[in-house]
Chain A
Amino acid sequence: MRTTIPIGPYHPLLEEPEFFKLVVEGETVVDMDVRIGWNHRGIEKIAEGKTYDQVIFLVERICGICSTSHPIANVLAQEDLAGAEVPERAQYIRSIVAELERLHSHLLWLGLAGHFIGYNTIFMWVWKYREPILDLFELITGNRNDYAMLRPGGVHRDIYKRDLPAIRKVMDELEPANEMLTKAILDDPVMGARLKGVGVLSKEDAIRYCVLGPTARASGVDIDVRRDEPYAAYDKVEWKVIVQEGGDVLAKAVVRLLENFESIKIIRQCVDRLEELPEGDIWSPIPQMPVGEGIGHEEAPRGECLHYIRSDGGNYPLRVKVRAPTYNNLPSFEASCIGETISDVALITAGIDPCYCCTERMAAVYDSSDKRLYDWQDLVRLSQEKTEKIRKELGR
């Protein structure tokens, strides 16, 4: 017997309110449909009425968690259009801010994933370790989120030498914490049973759906814009791309945890370099935008983020086009959710890390045949109960 379960449009996992329709037979998901567009704010159209400098502030507010990724992609597009050079110090500052953002975004994901499988300890712990990063942001940029650091041709604010020890200190504290979290997740048999083999996205499917970022790297697709087309300071520092073969939720968690170590490594090297470079040289003005078009892409915490700008030589862009990573990652649910049980759907949809925007939403679900009622909390509860069952079976 087939049952249809709508989830959303208000749904705690997704960057924008989105609508899912799950068709289940018994416990197994047999079909799935995704609708988007509930959070449409017409950003591309507003951008046409803003100057090039203002557009950066606007795209910063596309997504609060990737609030450096979009501006970086946008300034890269503008610099591509104008053929501008960026001072070296600004490049390093961009890398530091981007990597700090990746750290806080990956930790945020880990915490929420912990919550969905019923490990609220992980949620609380991880968010505790995320807090110093936000404090650091406040110290170096003046705001906990929406940092307003990026500017066409450079950055708005310098990171002063007096602030560098604070960055080092947070990194030194974060590294053992991340190591502890990695071990706690990899060595825990309940976690292994709960995450391993769940929501597998094969390499072929990953390529077919054009998934990006950690979702692709967890399926063995070796892509990373930071290495493939370096921007900011990524070609000047030592780091490596993390690739896992599993394709399941465990592999996605491992990719993110190991990427945290790489981010810490990158930030340390950038901080060392900032020590040597002279303060203050952070911006080279772009006198005028020529006629033409520019493309910028950037590795956001969730994957490649692409911006396109067309100019007619005036003060305002003629067209701004944004392609965010979740747009590509979302359809892959079709490959990874079908055939799984509903108790895993919450986890699998969380696996690609769609930005967690809306906390708890209500979605009443009616099924005419057996009068069962589901909403998102039920899905989370099902997921948590499953973990509990596994825990009992393993005698823990």
Chain B
Amino acid sequence: MGLKSWSLKRSPWIFHVCTGSCNNCDIELLDCLTPKFDVERFGILLVGSIRHADALIVTGAVTRQAAPKLKYLWEQMPKPGLVIALGACGCSGGIFRDSYNIIGPVDRIIPVDVYVPGCPPKPEAIISGIVKGLAKL
């Protein structure tokens, strides 16, 4: 394990991007921060800029407008970094995969490390997804 991935494992900062989700995955992600789950205890923090982030969480089946921005975000992310596709939409396109305006799922645009299925995944599942991703590093 290199120094970089060693330091990554301690308190992963997360940047969240919505590429055409229905809100639920986003709200459940936010829920992880509130008193019941409180992931800040473990140093997991949502940050406002991708340049500060160790992990990128993508929700939603990627729409045509969002795809170039997703790619751009990934290019700006410091490497090594985790990419987590959240929800059925992020993993496979979900119920929206047949739409004319969807070019996702996420792994068609950028490489994905962890898939967290569910519609929406429960906060427990999200936390476990992040932990599994860290173990992979």
State which of B24, B98, B102 has its C-beta within 8 Å of the C-beta of A64: B24
Flag whether B2 is at the interface (Cβ < 8 A).
Answer: no
Q: Is the CB of A46 within 8 A of B24?
A: no
Q: Is the CB of A64 within 8 A of B27?
A: yes
- In the bound complex, CA of A111 to CA of B31 (Å): 11
State which of A40, A46, A61 has its C-beta within 8 Å of the C-beta of B98: A46
Q: Which residue of B lies closest to A359 (CB)?
A: B16
Flag whether B11 is at the interface (Cβ < 8 A).
Answer: no
- In the bound complex, CA of A46 to CA of B20 (Å): 15
Q: Which residue of A lies closest to B34 (CB)?
A: A127
Smallest beta-carbon distance B118→chain A, Å: 9
Q: Which residue of A lies closest to B14 (CB)?
A: A359
Flag whether A161 is at the interface (Cβ < 8 A).
Answer: no
Q: Which residue of A lies closest to B100 (CB)?
A: A42
With A38-B65, A46-B95, A362-B49 in contact, is A356–B23 under 8 Å at CB?
yes
Smallest beta-carbon distance B103→chain A, Å: 11
Q: Is the CB of A127 within 8 A of B35?
A: yes
Please indicate the chain B residues that have their CB under 8 angstroms from the CB of A42 in the complex.
Answer: 96, 99-102
Please indicate the chain A residues that have their CB under 8 angstroms from the CB of B31 in the complex.
Answer: 127, 131, 134
State which of B34, B46, B120 has its C-beta within 8 Å of the C-beta of A131: B34
Please indicate the chain A residues that have their CB under 8 angstroms from the CB of B54 in the complex.
Answer: none
Q: Is the CB of A146 within 8 A of B24?
A: yes
Smallest beta-carbon distance A129→chain B, Å: 10
Chain B 62-108 residues near chain A, CB threshold 8 A: 63, 65-66, 69, 94-96, 98-102
Render A117-128 as a binary contact track against B, CB cut-off 8 A, 1 for contact: 000000110011
State which of B49, B60, B65 has its C-beta within 8 Å of the C-beta of A37: B65
Q: Among the interface residues A17, A134, A146, A355, which one has the most CB atoms of the partner chain B within 10 A?
A: A17
- Which A residues have a C-beta under 8 Å from some C-beta of B? 9-10, 15, 17, 37-43, 45-46, 49, 57-58, 61-65, 67, 108, 111, 123-124, 127-128, 131, 134, 144-146, 355-362, 375-377
State which of B18, B46, B96 has its C-beta within 8 Å of the C-beta of A46: B96
Please indicate the chain A residues that have their CB under 8 angstroms from the CB of B94 in the complex.
Answer: 61
Smallest beta-carbon distance B47→chain A, Å: 7
Q: Is the CB of B69 within 8 A of A65?
A: no
Flag whether B61 is at the interface (Cβ < 8 A).
Answer: yes
Q: Is the CB of A360 within 8 A of B47?
A: yes
Identify 9 residue pairs between A and B in the complex whose beta-carbon atoms are under 8 Å apart, listed by A's number. Answer: A41-B101, A42-B96, A43-B96, A57-B95, A64-B120, A67-B22, A134-B31, A359-B46, A361-B17
Please indicate the chain B residues that have their CB under 8 angstroms from the CB of A38 in the complex.
Answer: 20, 63, 65-66
With A10-B69, A41-B99, A46-B98 in contact, is A128–B50 under 8 Å at CB?
no
Chain B 12-32 residues near chain A, CB threshold 8 A: 15-18, 20-31
Smallest beta-carbon distance A208→chain B, Å: 29
Q: Among the interface residues B18, B69, B98, which one has the most CB atoms of the partner chain A within 10 A?
A: B18
With A41-B96, A144-B122, A145-B120 in contact, is A359–B29 under 8 Å at CB?
yes
Smallest beta-carbon distance A20→chain B, Å: 16
With A45-B99, A358-B16 in contact, is A62–B69 under 8 Å at CB?
no
Q: Describe A's contact surface by its main secondary structure.
A: loop
Flag whether B43 is at the interface (Cβ < 8 A).
Answer: no
With A61-B95, A64-B24, A128-B36 in contact, is A358–B120 under 8 Å at CB?
no
Please indicate the chain A residues that have their CB under 8 angstroms from the CB of B120 in the complex.
Answer: 64, 144-146
Flag whether B119 is at the interface (Cβ < 8 A).
Answer: yes
Smallest beta-carbon distance B27→chain A, Å: 6
Q: Is the CB of B63 within 8 A of A39?
A: yes
Flag whether B48 is at the interface (Cβ < 8 A).
Answer: yes
Please indicate the chain A residues that have their CB under 8 angstroms from the CB of B34 in the complex.
Answer: 111, 123-124, 127-128, 131
Please indicate the chain A residues that have their CB under 8 angstroms from the CB of B16 in the complex.
Answer: 358-360
- In the complex, the 9 A-B pairs of residues with the closest C-beta atoms, listed nearest first: A64-B24, A64-B23, A127-B34, A358-B18, A42-B99, A360-B48, A357-B23, A128-B35, A145-B24
Smallest beta-carbon distance A275→chain B, Å: 30
Smallest beta-carbon distance B13→chain A, Å: 11
- In the bound complex, CA of A65 to CA of B99 (Å): 22
Smallest beta-carbon distance A355→chain B, Å: 5
Q: Is the CB of A49 within 8 A of B27?
A: no
Q: Is the CB of A358 within 8 A of B17?
A: yes
State which of B23, B48, B69 has its C-beta within 8 Å of the C-beta of A377: B48
